Structure 1
Amino acid sequence: MVAGVELGGTKVVVVRAQGKNIMDLRTIPTREVATTLGSVLDILRAWHGETPFAAMGIGSFGPLRLDRQAPDFGIMLPTPKPGWAGADIYATLTEPFDCPAAIDTDVNGAALAELRWGAGAQGAVPSDSLCYITIGTGVGGGFAFNGRTVHGALHPEIGHIQVRRAPGDEFPGVCPFHGDCIEGLVSGPALAQRFGAPGHSIASDDPRWDFVASDIAQMVTTILMNVAARQVLIGGGVGMGRTDLLDRVRAKVVALAGGYLPYIDEASIASVVSAPLLGDRAGPLGTVALALGALDGIRID
């Protein structure tokens, strides 16, 4: 039995699993730090009392310090989430339990789950590299290459890369750090400000969606050019909620690639840029993958 905690900006999902099979799942709202982590610990302690778990995986929103040699390992760095900067995520959740544990970003965990059990595991030849992007309250991205998640000095911050703006798009963006980075342009709050209403209420034929598709396609093409991932999965409330938007993004990625990438064309793009196969289970299963990696001695974090 292993335990997993997916700590998101609006909710926390706590699971216990045998192998990749989730046996129990609880969801609680993300409130202030002490209340939220205390509620998570209550669940974990109850489960551990019934059947001690052999390992724990934590996938959290960020930014996080993931360098085990750093004095602030496992601590939340400055974040737009009020009150969470400096929260000691790893130590608070793992110290009560004597078992191996791993921590990573929630999107890195989701990428790992999709690589092992989802989109990356389909087809005659399993994928060795994918990027998982979630577009919702924010924009995050994680990478899983050759069975491992990817980070170095920090971890991927795809949501804050700059993109080339579409001609005529004057929307200034909403990111408090960068204005019109990709998160400032296409996240849920950005769409609400751009459209003057929540994105899900805007008709698919509204011409402003073309600007949004262009921004996302710029991000996807940048990823493909930089790391040559075999797959880019677009999830989250925005990513999985509008298949029409995904079709627009695919067409624009093909155009932006300009024939330079031999594996990107109209025939192949649907298999390269797609929705996550695991759907909203990618995040919780990501924490399970992290826990199993810790149990096997794989230094995922």
Structure 2
Amino acid sequence: MLGAIEAGGTKFVCAVSDDQLNIVERISIPTETPTETLAQVFAFFDRYPIKSMGVGSFGPIDINEASATYGYITSTPKIKWQDVDLLGQLKARYDVPMAWTTDVNAAAYGELILGAANGKSSCLYLTIGTGVGGGAIVNGEILHGFGHPEMGHIKVKRMESDEFEGICPFHGDCVEGLVAGPALEARVGMKGQQVPENHYVWRTQAYYIAQALMNYSLVLSPEVIVLGGGVMHQQQLFPLIRKELKRLMADYVALPEMEAFVVPTMLGNNSGIIGCLALAKEKNNK
């Protein structure tokens, strides 16, 4: 059996599958304290003969294997999870090979293996929901270096008429501070799903999201960009983003046809857990 954990700030999704990534059982556990949450995680996996595991976690996390805090959740806003050795506690319980990455990296990998980027060697996955986070696959490998990408915190050019200060506690008007779900709600005073399709705010959202996609495209040159998260459930955003991205690029570099380049997630809420299972399979085969 392959094991997978998509560790989110709101819930932990745990799953086991066979070697073909067919999920045998999957559960969702509320993210409480580390002790409370891991007790339920262990109770789930103790019932299965796990031979490898993939873990994709909310962050920031330490992914540098040479670091003394490799496997830790580090400077997260979730106070009780700061400086928690999540990977270490899992390894102490289960003596199996484990893959360790961010939840968005895992989602990017899931979309590459079985989703909207299947058949490609590179892709970018961006989730726009409670926060904004991104993962990238380059030549079939998850992109990371000293640390992992924090794509939601890049700066973008402000719209001249936009006086909204942004909500990011670290950077104010970074991409996350301008377009995440809470920012959208703060702008218009209602949840995204309550906002009419023709409301001005969607063009504002598209303006900033397209800028971010332009920057990612110029640096990473992905074959496809997959957009997920609660905000992207608003399907009217996709044509607005594609149109704005094309305008911003101004034909400077050639991009794939826009409807095939900027696409919704194919796996939906399963992107991360499928990616974790695929990483577990990869670990088991090494």
Match of 1:288 in 2: 277
TM-score normalised per structure 2: 0.97
Shift, 1:82, TM fit: 2.8
Q: Displaced runs of 4+ in structure 1, greater than 3 A?
A: none
Equivalent residue for 1:187, pick from 180, 183, 186: 180
Match of 1:155 in 2: 148
Match of 1:228 in 2: 221
Matched, 1:59 2:56: yes
Matched, 1:135 2:128: yes
Deviation string for 1:248-272 (max 9, x for gaps)? 11110010110112125xxx10100
Match of 1:113 in 2: 110
Shift, 1:89, TM fit: 1.0
Percentage of pairs with the same residue: 38
- Asked if the contact 1:116–1:147 (Cα under 8 Å) also holds between the matched residues in 2, the reply is no
Deviation string for 1:118-166 (max 9, x for gaps)? 1222xxxx21110001111111100112221110011010011111112
Question: Counterpart amino acid of 1:17?
Answer: S
Match of 1:169 in 2: 162
Matched, 1:269 2:262: no
Question: Counterpart amino acid of 2:249?
Answer: A
Question: Counterpart amino acid of 1:195?
Answer: V
Question: Counterpart amino acid of 1:189?
Answer: P
SS in 1 for 2:240: helix
State how far apart, in whole Å, the 2-side matches of 1:119 and 1:229 are. 13
TM-score normalised per structure 1: 0.92
Shift, 1:288, TM fit: 0.2
- Asked if the contact 1:235–1:275 (Cα under 8 Å) also holds between the matched residues in 2, the reply is yes
Question: Counterpart amino acid of 1:254?
Answer: K
State how far apart, in whole Å, the 1-side matches of 2:285 and 2:153 are. 33
Structure 2 unaligned residues grouped into runs of 5+: none
Match of 2:27 in 1: 26
- Asked if the contact 2:113–2:275 (Cα under 8 Å) also holds between the matched residues in 1, the reply is no
Match of 1:45 in 2: 46
Match of 2:243 in 1: 251
State how far apart, in whole Å, the 2-side matches of 1:199 and 1:117 are. 29
Deviation string for 1:76-98 (max 9, x for gaps)? 11112232110111011222112
Question: Counterpart amino acid of 2:82?
Answer: A
SS in 2 for 1:119: coil
Structure 1 unaligned residues grouped into runs of 5+: none
SS in 2 for 1:144: strand
Question: Counterpart amino acid of 1:282?
Answer: S
Match of 1:178 in 2: 171
Aligned residues: 285
Instruction: Identify which range, 185-194 or 55-64, moves more after superposition.
Output: 185-194
State how far apart, in whole Å, the 2-side matches of 1:281 and 1:231 are. 18
Shift, 1:64, TM fit: 0.6
Instruction: Identify which range, 151-160 or 36-45, moves more after superposition.
Output: 36-45
